[in-house]
């Protein structure tokens, strides 16, 4: 498989995973406009015609904004839980919608895809682990805490796109109102740099070779703070040496092979 974060941040999220055997691919979330998805695919020399599915994690606009138009324009099916579909007005038709459930396993584009629940302030939040030839990629954003499903995914993955949303000190000193800060820090909010890095430090295995730090807050984090926290904590494990990079809002990350 090959992976690119076409976009990730509080303004929009979209992850590209390709089966290099047949050149078919799937998107996890489509939270940027359809036109931008096309542009980001072009930036990594890929085409929408090879995308065989759009997998939606939850109904927030930064994860579903471009799904409907992109799906209809290129006749790509959307995979979403029924509760999530009912919680959004972003989908204008159910003709191309396939309902999925927690703990279900799918096979799309020749990739085995497992569906797991997570904790977030949404109708039915899920995340996905994708496996091909014994290599596993997990895409985990918008999680309030590192539940057992997330721990299991981290411990069994070769590649992670993992939320590193905020720096705890920047959030505490920032201009957000108290109720919003409390939600972000809560068990239905977002993972901080420290939370995500410590969970990976404790549960990651030597097979974990790449991590894309994802869903960074524009106001409560910086790529430098995220990388500093991660590099410091992960260095405590001599047997764990993943390549760590940061996703971007305005550019696709380079394709990386699993």
Please tell me the predicted confidence (pLDDT) of residue 96: 78
Task: Collect all residues with Cβ–Cβ distance below 8 Å to 84 and sequence separation of at least 6.
Answer: 56, 58, 59, 122, 123, 124, 125, 126
Chain segment 80-90, per-residue pLDDT in tens: 999 999 999 88
Q: What whole-number distance in Å separates Cα of residue 203 and Cα of residue 145?
A: 14
Please tell me the predicted confidence (pLDDT) of residue 90: 86
Q: Report pTM.
A: 0.97
Pairing of the two strands 24-28 and 51-55: parallel
Burial of 105 from C-beta contacts in 10 A (0-12 / 13-18 / 19+): exposed
Name the residue among 189, 160, 232, 254 with its Cα closest to residue 10: 189
Domains of the chain with CATH codes: 2-257 (3.60.15.10)
Q: What whole-number distance in Å separates Cα of residue 28 and Cα of residue 128?
A: 8
pLDDT under 70: residue ranges of the chain: none
Residues in the chain: 258
Please tell me the predicted confidence (pLDDT) of residue 27: 98
Name the residue among 177, 132, 186 with its Cα closest to residue 159: 132
Helix, coil or strand: residue 178: helix
């Amino acid at each position: 498989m090959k992976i690119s974060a076409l976009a990730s941040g509080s303004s929009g999220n979209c992850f590209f995973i390709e089966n290099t055997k047949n050149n078919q691919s799937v998107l996890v979330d489509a939270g940027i406009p359809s036109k931008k998805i096309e542009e980001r695919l072009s930036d990594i020399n890929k085409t929408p015609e090879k995308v065989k599915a759009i997998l939606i994690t939850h109904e927030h606009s930064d994860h579903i904004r471009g799904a409907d138009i992109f799906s209809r324009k290129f006749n790509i099916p959307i995979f979403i839980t029924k509760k999530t579909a009912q919680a959004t007005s972003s989908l204008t038709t159910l003709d191309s919608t396939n309902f999925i459930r927690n703990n279900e396993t799918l096979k799309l584009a020749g990739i085995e895809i497992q569906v797991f629940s997570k904790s977030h302030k949404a109708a039915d939040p899920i995340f996905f682990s994708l496996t091909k030839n014994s290599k596993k990629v997990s895409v985990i954003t918008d999680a309030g805490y590192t539940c057992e499903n997330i721990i299991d995914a981290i411990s069994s993955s070769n590649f992670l796109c993992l939320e590193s949303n905020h720096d705890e000190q920047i959030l505490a000193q920032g201009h957000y109102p108290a109720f919003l800060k409390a939600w972000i820090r809560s068990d239905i909010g977002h993972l901080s740099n420290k939370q995500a890095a410590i969970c990976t430090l404790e549960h990651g295995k030597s097979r974990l070779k790449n991590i894309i730090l994802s869903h960074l807050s524009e106001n409560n984090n910086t790529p430098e703070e995220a990388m500093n926290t991660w590099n410091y904590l992960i260095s405590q494990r001599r047997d764990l040496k993943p390549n760590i990079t940061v996703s971007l809002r305005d550019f696709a990350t380079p394709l990386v092979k699993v």
